[in-house]
Structure 1
Amino acid sequence: MQTDLLLPMVSDTDTTELAVRAEELGYDGLWLGELWGTSSVVQLTDIAAHTDEVDIGTAIVNVFSRTPAVLAMTAATLDRVSDGRFCLGVGTSTRKSIEDLHGMDWNDPNPVRRAHETIELTREYLSGDGRVDYEGEIFDVQDFPSLGADVPIYHAALGKANRRVVARLCDGWIPHNVPFPDLEDAFAYITDQAEEAGRDVTIDVAPYVPAAVSDDPEEAKDVVRGHVAYYVGNGKGYERAVAQRFPDGASAVADAWRTGDRTAAAENVTDEMVRALGVAGTPEQAREQFQEIADIDCVTRPMVTIPSNADEETVERTIEELAPASY
């Protein structure tokens, strides 16, 4: 099976050295997120220079803070320096990040429309025929040549409207906090919409798989509880995704988080939610759980994702125990 890794940003750990180690452990793809503190594209350039065959990608950069032209130039350059190993993973991020960090309007006109136009125009700039002209609600550009680069574009979509963007425009889907038992139904909507749009393509499914390995299964579960609580508490889209299967649980987690009670928020993430939203346990338990997710029919490249609340020992243990070399 293909196993990818979302590289964790760990203090006192060189991310490029970690990437080199991950390639040695047999990971097929290495992805890097971006919120605040480190530019994923700069870091991935260094990783590309120090690795040989492993795929690299952004998971994710948001569609607000870089224009389609900048995204296209970035993707084409990273693809070139990595000898064709780069995937561009984008998403809308969250209202808090876009408004409070980037100082932009989340509803201008709306995140899904921005995702659609950004991805559509970025693809035109990358691989369109001739010179690019585009007129949309957000972007209006004229008379620049495409870059002649064939770079896959993945989108981190949750709701139906955003999944239609995947269906119509993208090469891959990066779901996060969609309960794993619901992935096939959620992806079936994408395939139906792609067929309606006249696309005959294979769309990769690369879910985030929040994972924690420990000799104490309860400690591992607590790491995943904290991860779920953070995302459900900070993003309505994540809350809605979890609520599709756990309406009461998602509401309890979000309510506690938003009143400032982080401990109660994590405690409201039940064992059933942990199992449906992540991988947690001893090495043997975690590998078995991860394999079950990898075996879901629609999943093509599951992404080991280390929660940011994990300590460095858990980070290292999880990366090693879930690496292909450990199977």
Structure 2
Amino acid sequence: MKLGVHIGYWGLGLSSEDQLNIVQEAERLGYDSVWAAEAYGSDTATVLGWLAGQTSKIRLGSGIFQMPGRSAAMTAMTAATIDQLSGGRMILGIGSSGPQVAEGWHGQRFAKQLQRTREYVAVVRMALARERVEFHGETLELPLPDGPGKALKLTISPVQERIPIYIAAIGPKNTALAGEIADGWIPTLFSPEHVSELRPLLQEGAERSGKSLEDFDIAPTVNVFVTDDLESARNAMRPFIALYVGGMGSREQNFYNQVVQRYGYEAEAKEIQDLYLEGKRDEAMAAIPDSLIDTVSLCGPPDVVRERLAVYRDAGVGTLGVTPTAFTADERLEQLRLVAELAA
């Protein structure tokens, strides 16, 4: 199991120098990859391009590029450019985001997401292979049929023969699609104890395309806080879990709430969401069961975290993206070192 470091959204409490120190220390410690995120603040591509020039070995993952924020062709252009800048270190993670961001920020309808993802990936692969892009699908048509557009091909070549494409997915159908058309899968709020329910979905998708999962990368992101004070470690996890389970999306369309329900926390997920949407965020955080925190986080004393790392490894995780959840830059660096030691 390889380690990645997830630096998340840019500028939330850490300076650019702090973030760079974290990434360079991760590279020194032997972490395989660094991942950056975007929502409606910083964009991922700029961060990865900036990191490309200040690192030499660590792979650069978009975790994720939002599909509604970029055309498939622009995603291919961006991935190819970062691959060139970094000497072949790009990992292309994409996802559909959610209806509030897609429609509220990007002005793109959140509809036909399975078909849109399938066609989007097909066009990205076609472009990265430097084929002349002519595509006629349900959600994408290139060139447009009634105008002066012409079929074009990418004018630069990526360094890698095939830039790996990962899909962020948590729903059953999207997870199966990742197994079918992608090289890796990025789940959020991942529970290694439930991988027996998820792997058949990946297998179903792989079988549809006639491929094996042998080289397929399961690459969840997990928040980490290694400390002998288990209560404080759990409390450090509560804001993130409350935000995602309670407030990431509407009451009707919160995919993270749904995944927690599938883990057996139906009543708790509803209570967390009700409290969060009523503005009672402290109460929402307090309502998160300790057992749920332990399931989707790495927190507590070193021996506990070492055992949990083994559980992730045994569940078939290929790349574990860790987000240090300490409060200062120095503490985050120490968390990186502790995880590297415990995973060795």
**Fold conserved between structures, TM > 0.5:** yes
Does 2:218 match 1:219? no
| Gap regions ≥5 residues in structure 1 | none
Q: Higher mean Cα deviation, 236-245 or 113-122?
A: 113-122
Q: TM-score, normalised by structure 2?
A: 0.86
Aligned-partner Cα distance in 2 for 1:72–1:256: 41
Q: What's the % identity of the aligned pairs?
A: 28
Distance apart, 1:295 and its partner CA: 2.6
How do 1:36-55 and structure 2 match up within 5 A? 36-55=40-59
Letter paired with 2:311: E
Aligned-partner Cα distance in 2 for 1:278–1:223: 10
1:24 corresponds in structure 2 to 28
Distance apart, 1:264 and its partner CA: 1.4
Distance apart, 1:283 and its partner CA: 3.4
Equivalent of 1:317, from 311, 325, 334?
334
> What is the number of equivalent residue pairs in this alignment?
321
**Counterpart of 2:319 in 1: which secondary structure?**
coil
Letter paired with 2:186: I
**Counterpart of 2:93 in 1: which secondary structure?**
strand
1:260 corresponds in structure 2 to 279
How do 1:257-296 and structure 2 match up within 5 A? 257-296=276-315
Change (3 A) 1:13 1:238: same
Equivalent of 1:210, from 223, 243, 256?
223
**Counterpart of 1:302 in 2: which secondary structure?**
strand
**Counterpart of 1:209 in 2: which secondary structure?**
strand
Equivalent of 1:248, from 248, 254, 267?
267
**Counterpart of 1:154 in 2: which secondary structure?**
strand
How do 1:100-249 and structure 2 match up within 5 A? 100-106=104-110, 109-127=111-129, 130-142=131-143, 143-146=151-154, 148-149=157-158, 150-200=162-212, 202-233=215-246, 234-235=248-249, 236-245=254-263, 246-249=265-268
| Gap regions ≥5 residues in structure 2 | 144-150
Change (3 A) 1:322 1:71: same
**Counterpart of 1:132 in 2: which secondary structure?**
coil
Aligned-partner Cα distance in 1 for 2:36–2:217: 18
2:148 corresponds in structure 1 to none
Q: TM-score, normalised by structure 1?
A: 0.91
Encode CA deviations 1:73-113: one digit per residue, 9 max, x unaligned: 0011111111111100011122222233333322xx33333
Aligned-partner Cα distance in 1 for 2:342–2:221: 20
List, as ranges, runs of 4+ consecutive aligned residues in structure 1 with deviation greater than 4 Å: 324-327
Kept in 2: contact 1:243–1:250 (CA 8 A): yes
Aligned-partner Cα distance in 2 for 1:94–1:299: 25
Equivalent of 1:302, from 320, 337, 342?
320
2:147 corresponds in structure 1 to none
Kept in 1: contact 2:181–2:209 (CA 8 A): no
1:87 corresponds in structure 2 to 91
Aligned-partner Cα distance in 2 for 1:256–1:315: 30
